[in-house]
Amino acid sequence: MIDYQPLYQALINTKAKPWVKLIPDQLEQIFSINSHGNSAKWLDIIAKLPKLKATTVNLNTGLVKIGNATDINQQTHDLLLEQLQGFHPWRKGPYNIFGIHIDTEWRSDWKWDRLEQHISPLKNRLVLDVGCGNGYHCWRMLGAGASMVVGVDPLLLNVLQFQVIRILYGEAPVYVLPIGLEQIPDSIHTFDTVFSMGVLYHRRSPIDHLLALKECMRPGGELVLETLVIEGDKGEVLIPEGRYAKMRNVWFLPSCETLLGWMRRCGFKNCRVININKTSIEEQRTTEWMQFHSLKEFLDPENLNLSCEGLPAPRRAIIIANAP
């Protein structure tokens, strides 16, 4: 099981103290067997994970790697494979766990490659990753030298996938907590770098999301924001009336200029777009570890520039800004 004491100790003497007091209760909810239909099954797998010792780990290449195939015998390999498959669908990665290659739906390493050269070096920084999924990028942030990485994500499967990886990795200053950004108290102003990637378009109030991110950042701290955008001028924003690329919960897709304006209005400084990328069907696809439909089925088969609803196909921008 994960020891959260180092997390509490790192934050208790900061402005995040009011949050530290809430975390034990926030954690308790994931151990309640009623929180999700599969939670009892998943928690049982976690309790039965083999106790393994990785001879090597590597967090600095696209493939987050824990241990080698030769660290475990065939029987343990077969058990671990079955246990990991019990957490299908694996969306963010890839991982290699004791020789088992988890080929996830997303090549999340490609997103990391697009931003890595543009952000302030993470060495010795306290990092918050809002909407971190199963924590793939949290591992890359740790690999980049962060002193501690705290991820938050409200989806139980994501949090438990992270727990599996974290238990197999062993002690490390990286944590994923089962909450949404809204459950972090205001005014904690603690984190040196805050990431929000793939979350803003899911929020009904993007302005409130931006303001809540600012509340987590220390003065001058860095925000790395990644979200869906449209091509267009200042003031333009797409609000899909129904689904977008089959997703039900997509609200605001601004143009980059519109988004920069929102960020400046929220008080962010030095707001700049560092990358725009149209998502490819090589980056988001069905795999053995995510067997449901993926981007190819969400696009117009006759025109890959359109979603299946006839809207502009997914295009993502990465924006960097500073807290005042």
Ligand X SMILES: C[S@@+](CC[C@H](N)C(=O)[O-])C[C@H]1O[C@@H](n2cnc3c(N)ncnc32)[C@H](O)[C@@H]1O
* Contact residues: ligand X, CB under 6 A: 92, 108, 111, 130-133, 152-155, 158, 180-182, 197-199, 202
CA-based nearest residue to 195, from 140, 253, 254: 140
Whose Cβ is closer to ligand X: residue 180's or residue 261's? 180
3-state SS assignment for residue 30: helix
Q: How far is the CB of 91 from ligand X (least distance, A)?
A: 8
**97 burial level (CB within 10 Å; 0-12, 13-18, 19+):** buried
- List the end-to-end C-alpha distance of the chain, in Å, as a whole number: 39
3-state SS assignment for residue 22: helix
Whose Cβ is closer to ligand X: residue 80's or residue 307's? 307
CB 276 within 8 A of CB 317: yes
Q: How far is the CB of 181 from ligand X (least distance, A)?
A: 4
Whose Cβ is closer to ligand X: residue 107's or residue 125's? 107
Pairing assessment for the beta strands 95-97 and 64-66 based on DSSP bridges: parallel
CB 233 within 8 A of CB 259: no
d(CA 180, CA 166): 20
CB 275 within 8 A of CB 114: yes
Whose Cβ is closer to ligand X: residue 168's or residue 199's? 199
Q: How far is the CB of 208 from ligand X (least distance, A)?
A: 10
Whose Cβ is closer to ligand X: residue 152's or residue 313's? 152
Whose Cβ is closer to ligand X: residue 221's or residue 314's? 314
Whose Cβ is closer to ligand X: residue 153's or residue 192's? 153
Q: Tokens 């008080």 correspond to what residue? A: 267
The C-alpha R_g of the chain, in whole angstroms, comes to 20
Whose Cβ is closer to ligand X: residue 131's or residue 221's? 131
Six-digit token string for 135: 């924590």
Q: How far is the CB of 52 from ligand X (least distance, A)?
A: 26
Q: How far is the CB of 74 from ligand X (least distance, A)?
A: 33
Secondary structure, 3-state, 186-239: CCCCCEEEEEEECCHHHCCCHHHHHHHHHHHEEEEEEEEEEEECECCCCCCEEC
Q: How far is the CB of 12 from ligand X (least distance, A)?
A: 23
Alpha carbon 262 to its chain's center: 23
Q: How far is the CB of 132 from ligand X (least distance, A)?
A: 5
d(CA 28, CA 73): 35
Q: How far is the CB of 118 from ligand X (least distance, A)?
A: 15
Pairing assessment for the beta strands 64-66 and 57-58 based on DSSP bridges: antiparallel
